[in-house]
A = this chain, B = another copy of it.
Amino acid sequence: MADQYTIHFGILGCANIARKVSRAIKLAPNCTLSAIGSRSIEKASKFAKENEYPDSIKVYGSYDAVLDDPDVDAVYIPLPTSLHVKWAVLAAEKKKHVLLEKPVALNLKDLDIILEACENNGVQYMDATMWMHHPRTTQMRGFLSDAHRFGQLKAVHSVFSYLGGDDFLKNDIRVQPDLDALGALGDVGWYCIRAILWANDYEMPKAVTAWREPEYNEAGVILSCGASLRFEDGKQASFYCSFLSNLTMDISALGTRGNLRVHDFVIPFQENLGPFYVTANSGWVGMSIGCDPPPTEHLIKTDLPQEALMVMEFSKLVKNIKVNGVAPERKWTSISRKTQVVVDAVIASIGKGFVPIEIN
């Protein structure tokens, strides 16, 4: 039941992903969906009906109306990336806390405008990278921090791909140069980059080098690409992201003493169960005729899906600001910005002929 501490969400736009997040808002105990706005009232009403929103949820024929609603504490923005600056900034100026779908911006300059608006208006900012909030992620972090079982990180490789059909590759929002110009790098590469930064405990790479010959659609939007990243102390990372190969969502992290693998890091195969695999202190058996131990599976249960945990965490921070007068949590700003810096470096490397882009 909603009480005075319940955070009231508005959603800007009827993107497909908004169905998933509005369900998450329903599942999370500390927030409620209050309003949905679309460019047309018909579209918003249709969406509300299809998703079985109760009549108490206000349906608006514009994004502005959601932002002007005094009952709305926070907005979830799943609009095409090219519209993020306008609407995230407006939201912040109207003192709405901002949960922003990824890719958060077309480039760092745009993101900084958004972050500055959030900072200046004292509102919470978080990007909607759901897997960060799965309890599995915390468990995996624990393993990576285990000096005896994982040791020091040496290398990370991450992949996120799924197969877009012909229609997707021509017409989906995610491959339109005027809507989501980052293509696969923004939609799926974003997660790979986040995974690499996460595994490195948010240390930034020294340099990023894009792999030659990314694939593009006819409009020049990236359909697949990869990159190599260098960190301090010889640490290496690489990722590959694509709309052109079967669903793959892998992180593989190598430490001096152990390794970690996960094969569904973005969206777990099963909603309530996140598996990961570790090996530690491996050795050869006999005359190297085998090796031991084999990887062990760790199954992390979750009562709430990761996207519900995400809106719950976001709502908790918003409540802290609204009720307790605490300052916005800047951790999420920092992580989002670092991810964008690497996205920009990949684009710059491609643009400059696949040279290494140094990160300052």
Residue ranges of A at the interface with B (Cβ–Cβ < 8 Å):
16-17, 19-20, 23, 151, 154-155, 157, 159, 161-163, 207, 209, 211-215, 224, 226, 228, 230, 234, 236, 238, 240, 242, 244-248, 250, 252, 254-259, 261, 263-264, 267-271, 279-284, 287-292, 294-295, 305, 307, 356
For A23, the chain B residues whose CB sits under 8 A away are: 287, 289
Q: Among B159, B268, B282, which residue has its beta carbon within 8 angstroms of that of A162?
A: B282
Give 20 new A-B contacts, CB below 8 A, not counting A155-B159, A211-B238.
A23-B287, A23-B289, A151-B245, A155-B226, A155-B240, A157-B159, A212-B356, A213-B234, A226-B236, A226-B238, A228-B228, A244-B256, A245-B256, A246-B257, A246-B279, A267-B290, A267-B291, A269-B292, A270-B294, A271-B290
Q: How far is the CA of A110 from the CA of B168 in the complex (A)?
A: 51
For A211, the chain B residues whose CB sits under 8 A away are: 209, 228, 230, 236, 238
Q: How far is the CA of A191 from the CA of B238 in the complex (A)?
A: 19
Known: A226-B238, A263-B295. A245 touches B155 (CB 8 A): yes
Q: How far is the CB of A317 from chain B (nearest CB, A)?
A: 24
Q: Among B207, B244, B256, B295, which residue has its beta carbon within 8 angstroms of that of A154?
A: B244
Is there contact, CB below 8 Å, between B252 and A256? no
Is there contact, CB below 8 Å, between B245 and A19? no
Is there contact, CB below 8 Å, between A256 and B291? no
Q: Among B240, B268, B289, which residue has its beta carbon within 8 angstroms of that of A305?
A: B289
Q: Among B159, B247, B280, which residue has its beta carbon within 8 angstroms of that of A246?
A: B280
Is there contact, CB below 8 Å, between A250 and B247? no
For A292, the chain B residues whose CB sits under 8 A away are: 269
Select the residue from A230, A284, A291 with max chain B CB neighbours within 10 A: A291
Q: How far is the CB of A44 from chain B (nearest CB, A)?
A: 18
Is there contact, CB below 8 Å, between B157 and A157? yes
Q: How far is the CA of A258 from the CA of B248 in the complex (A)?
A: 9
Q: How far is the CB of A231 from chain B (nearest CB, A)?
A: 9
A-B contact pairs, 9 of them (CB 8 A): A20-B288, A159-B254, A163-B282, A213-B230, A224-B236, A240-B254, A244-B256, A246-B258, A248-B254
